[in-house]
Amino acid sequence: MTAYEVAVAAEATLGEGPTWDPVTGSLLWLDILGMRLHTYDPVTGRRTVRTTPQHIGAAKPRAGGGLVLNLRDGVGLLDPDGTFRWLRHEPVPGRRGNDAAVAPDGSLWAGTMRYDEAAGGGTLSRLAGDGTARTVLDDVTVSNGTGWSPDGRLMYYVDTPTRRVDVFDYDAEGIRDRRPLVEIEEGAGYPDGLTVDADGCVWVALWDGGAVRRYTPDGTLDRVISLPTPRTTACAFGGPALTDLYITTARTGLAAPHPLSGSLLVVPNAGKGLPQPAFAG
């Protein structure tokens, strides 16, 4: 599978976080280091760009409208009228928010990392709708892709330098029994953002791998989407039927980036995604 198309030609420094918003019928995506929040409507082609006050690692729809943002200094709420307020403000020098995902119960699982990518300098935390937070993992280097199986009983997670996609048992009490689902072989890149499809398969973007891979629930590789952009960052299903796979890319750190590096790509009819819960806050 290599039949990608260019959804939005852009030069994002660190494109990330594709998320389908079913209420607006648009795809949210970010330029973390460029401090930009993008939207793209695939039906009309309409695009918007909003500047954020800090580096932004993730933006997810809220149940009551607006967005929840994982920022450098904590997690904030953006109301439908554009008003911003902090849900949890906890700045740590040298650290920023990175990827985040909404769990089946509507909680936000928000990751952090150090700018210098120091080993163990990041975390993964669970935030309830009222802002109550607890640290779930506290020895993380680059907290990245997080997703849940269709039945909500498994959680998948990436700490990028480990080269693994890990899986946990998940329930209302939290996560337990961490084990590897797959390990990315040397030379194939590093796992970054991920999404889970309606068949329970895990799609993972490979940083410095120029590809998105699909793994079955038992860890078998069964599809590869090869891309010309070496720094592939994340993927998510979108479109009215959740059948189109959107892929973000980056150009940061590349001496001679590909012309499409930093663009939003799409593979039409790649599969069938899962409707994503909105944040309960």
pLDDT at 44: 96
Cα distance between residue 103 and residue 100, in whole Å: 10
Q: Phi and psi of 134, rounded to 5°?
A: -140, 145
Out of 21, 73, 99, 192, pick the active-site residue.
Answer: 192
Q: Would you say residue 175 has pLDDT above 80?
A: yes
- Please give the residue that has the higher pLDDT: either 3 or 78: 78
State pLDDT tens for residues 94-125.
999 999 999 999 999 999 999 999 999 999 99
Asked whether 269 and 7 are in contact (CB, 8 A), the reply is no
Cα distance between residue 41 and residue 18, in whole Å: 13
State pLDDT tens for residues 150-163.
999 999 999 999 99
**What band does 203 get if pLDDT is binned at 50, 70 and 90?**
very high
Asked whether 63 and 280 are in contact (CB, 8 A), the reply is yes
What string of DSSP letters covers 145-169? EEEE-TTSSEEEEEEGGG-EEEEEE
Q: Would you say residue 1 has pLDDT above 60?
A: no
State pLDDT tens for residues 245-260.
999 999 999 999 999 9
Q: Would you say residue 2 has pLDDT above 70?
A: no
pLDDT at 211: 98
Mean pLDDT of the chain: 97
Sign for the CA dihedral angle at 52, 27, 220, 187 comes to negative
| For the chain, percent of residues with pLDDT exceeding 70 | 99
Residue that is written with structure tokens 């409707």 in the block? 275
Residue 19's identity, in one-letter code, is T
pLDDT at 179: 98
pLDDT at 181: 98
> Measured in Å, how far apart are the chain's first and last C-alpha atoms?
38
pLDDT at 35: 98
State pLDDT tens for residues 211-239.
999 999 999 999 999 999 999 999 999 99
Asked whether 147 and 153 are in contact (CB, 8 A), the reply is no
pLDDT at 218: 98
Would you call 171 a catalytic residue per the annotation? no
